[in-house]
Amino acid sequence: MVPRGGGFGPDADDTGCTILHVDMDAFYAAVEVRRRPELRGKPVVVGGAGPRGVVSSASYEARKYGVRSAMPGARARRLCPHAVFLPPDFTEYAAASRAVMGIFRDVTPLVEPLSMDEAFLDVAGAVRLLGRPAEIATGIRRRVLEEQRLTCSVGVAPTKFIAKLGSTRAKPDGLEVVPADRVLEYLHPLPVEALWGVGEKSAEALHKLGLRTVGDVADAPLGLLRRALGEAVAVHLSELAAGRDPRAVVPHQPEKSIGAETTFDVDVADPRIIREALLALSEKTAGRLRRAGQAGRTVTLKVRLSDFRTVNRSRTLGAATDVAREIFQTAWALFEALRPGDRIRLVGVRVDGLAGSDDAPHQLTLGERETGWREAERAAAAAADRFGAGVVRPASLLRLPDRPAAGPPSRIDHDNAR
């Protein structure tokens, strides 16, 4: 690994290093600590509830005990039983994300968000007004701290790939500059897992070839990599290992799909429970479509069985929709046609083929009124914005005293957009 303090700090030569990768530090946990100052300095874990709960975020105090994002909640509790476990509040995180992204866009319009808590920035046009790239990065970090009471880490480099590596190594609350003429010095000692696109299987394949570091991959004949990994992956990794990454920062990249999914606390077979889950997910998906100003034509159902087999079924509609009722009816029809017979661990709903909702035609069936479910759902959404989530819900999602609860999902993917 590249030693910290080895000439890649904030004072390194940033000539030509106009790409920044800004990554918020333990974002969800940090937002929770911001509104609960009494938790500062304590191990905080967001998510992880229920027997199948998954950790969404962990403070650095919790990470000292080995707690990490995507870890099963049960394991996190064993590692750090005295941690404070909190349910996620994605409304609050989204508000914090918008504020942080606003700071980025004050610096440059060339901002490419990767998720709620990280983004690439191209600051080439801002250098003349705001100073060197490292100075711009320092200013961003200062504003995020002063205005949002949150910290972030920034990588400054000539390419996106190297900038992201830099922000990772700068964590937490740091700044790493990788000079353009020292990229290979920085990159080649890193393990092959540092390359984008190298997962467990491809790392194993590279190790079998005796390739342990990025430098090893850079020196390997392309034909050797092709035989082990295939043409596309071999070329991709060879380019990255040589420090070449021509991708530009692309602002406002449109989402390809929007959806949501839930994992049950216990595997279920009751069609009523699955139907309720699909209805709730359709409501959630439709709400995200409306907030994004999008509608889509293809509805996809995702079902993961108890043995972890995953089945996807899709249907393309005659016109784009952002209406929960239409999404649910399609998803339920797909499920009834599938009828897997096994107990189910996870279900998900996704809408693809997105277009602006105002531009997408809305198909009326014979005899249908010009105003209907779409307008009703928008009115319900407006009521929820004013009076709080859940004030207006489908009757089938209201829990009656004589109806047993299906049990809350241990995890909901609240940002299933691609």
Residue 352 lies inside a defined structural domain of this protein: yes
Q: CA angle 394-396-397, nearest 5°? A: 70
Residues 281 and 326 in one domain: yes
Do 45 and 192 lie in a common domain? no
Same domain, 68 and 204: no
Are both 388 and 270 inside the same structural domain? yes
What would the two tokens of residue 353 be? 């083929």
Q: What is the pTM of this model?
A: 0.72
352 CB contacts (<8 Å, ≥6 apart)?
Answer: 256, 257, 296, 297, 298, 300, 314
User: Under a CB-based contact definition with an 8 Å cutoff, are residues 48 and 76 in contact?
Assistant: yes
Whether 398 and 346 share a structural domain: yes
Same domain assignment for residues 212 and 262:
no
Collapsed DSSP state (helix, strand, coil) of residue 89? coil
Q: Is residue 312 part of a domain?
A: yes
Final residue before a domain boundary, out of 66, 90, 114: 90
Classify residue 342: in a domain, yes or no: yes
In a domain, 110, yes or no: no
Check the CA dihedral 288-294-295-300 and report its sign. negative
- The CATH code of the domain that includes 310 is 3.30.1490.100
Residue 67 lies in a domain: yes
Q: Comparing C-alpha atoms, which of 374, 376, 355 is closest to residue 294?
A: 355
- Count the helix, strand and coil residues of the chain and give each as a percent rounded to the nearest 5: 40, 20, 35
CATH code at 84? 3.40.1170.60
pLDDT of residue 56: 93
Residue 53's beta-bridge partner residues? none
Query: Do residue 412 and residue 263 come from a single domain?
Result: yes
- Across the beta sheet with 111-115, the strand order is 111-115, 118-122, 19-24, 152-157, 175-177
Residue for token pair 């191990």: 43
Q: Which residues of 114-143 are buried (b: 16+ CB within 10 A; e: fewer)?
A: eebbbbbbbbeebeeebebbbebbbbbbeb
Q: Quick one: which of 288, 401, 407, 403 has its CA closest to 350?
A: 288
Q: What is the pLDDT of residue 42?
A: 97
Closest CA to 247 of 188, 168, 161: 161
Place of tokens 């989204």: 94
Q: What is residue 412's predicted lDDT score, i.e. its pLDDT?
A: 41
- Number of independent structural domains in the chain: 3
CA-based nearest residue to 253, from 291, 290, 292: 292
pLDDT for the residue 138: 97
Cis? peptide before 254, omega within 30° of 0: no
Q: Which of 43, 59, 90 is the last residue of a domain?
A: 90
Q: How far apart are CA 41 and CA 350, in angstroms?
A: 39
CB atoms near residue 306 (< 10 Å): 16
Tell me which residue range forms the domain holding 218: 188-241
309 and 379 both lie in a single domain: yes
Is the domain of 275 the same as that of 226?
no
| Both structure tokens of 1 | 């690994």
What CATH number does the domain containing 211 carry?
1.10.150.20
Q: Are residues 198 and 288 in the same domain?
A: no
The response to whether 23 counts as a known ligand-binding position is yes
For residue 332, the model assigns a pLDDT of 96
Return all residues near 242 (Cβ < 8 A) that are at least 6 apart: 184, 218
Residues classed as catalytic: 118
Q: Could you tell me which residues are beta bridge partners of residue 301?
A: 313, 349
Rounded Cα distance between 146 and 25, Å, is 15
**Residue 382 within a domain:** yes
Number of residues written out for the chain:
418
CB contact set of 198 (below 8 Å; sequence gap of 6+): 192, 206, 237
Q: Running DSSP on this structure, what letter comes out for residue 27?
A: H
**Sign of torsion, CA 3 7 10 13?**
negative
Spatial contact of 21 and 136, defined as CB atoms under 8 Å apart: no
Asked if residue 216 and residue 72 are part of one domain, the reply reads no
**170, 150 in Cβ contact below 8 A?**
no
Nearest to 352 by CA among 286, 283, 413, 298: 298
pLDDT at 402: 41
Residue 99 lies in a domain: no
Q: What is the pLDDT of residue 358?
A: 55
Residues 6+ apart with CB under 8 A from 372: none
Handedness of CA 160, 165, 171, 175 (dihedral sign): negative
Taking only the tens of pLDDT, the chain with its 418 residues reads: 343 445 788 889 999 999 999 999 999 999 999 999 999 999 999 998 777 888 999 999 999 999 999 899 999 999 999 999 999 998 899 999 999 999 999 999 999 999 899 999 999 999 999 999 999 999 999 999 999 999 999 999 999 999 999 999 999 999 999 999 999 999 999 999 999 888 888 999 999 999 999 999 999 999 999 998 999 999 999 999 999 999 999 997 667 889 999 888 889 999 999 999 999 999 999 999 998 888 999 999 999 998 888 999 999 998 899 999 999 999 999 999 998 888 999 999 999 988 765 554 444 444 444 445 555 555 555 545 554 545 445 555 444 344 444 443 444 443 454 4
SS3 373: helix
Q: Is 385 annotated as a binding residue?
A: no
Q: Are residues 293 and 399 in the same domain?
A: yes
Query: What pLDDT is attached to residue 408?
Result: 39
Residue 125 within a domain: no
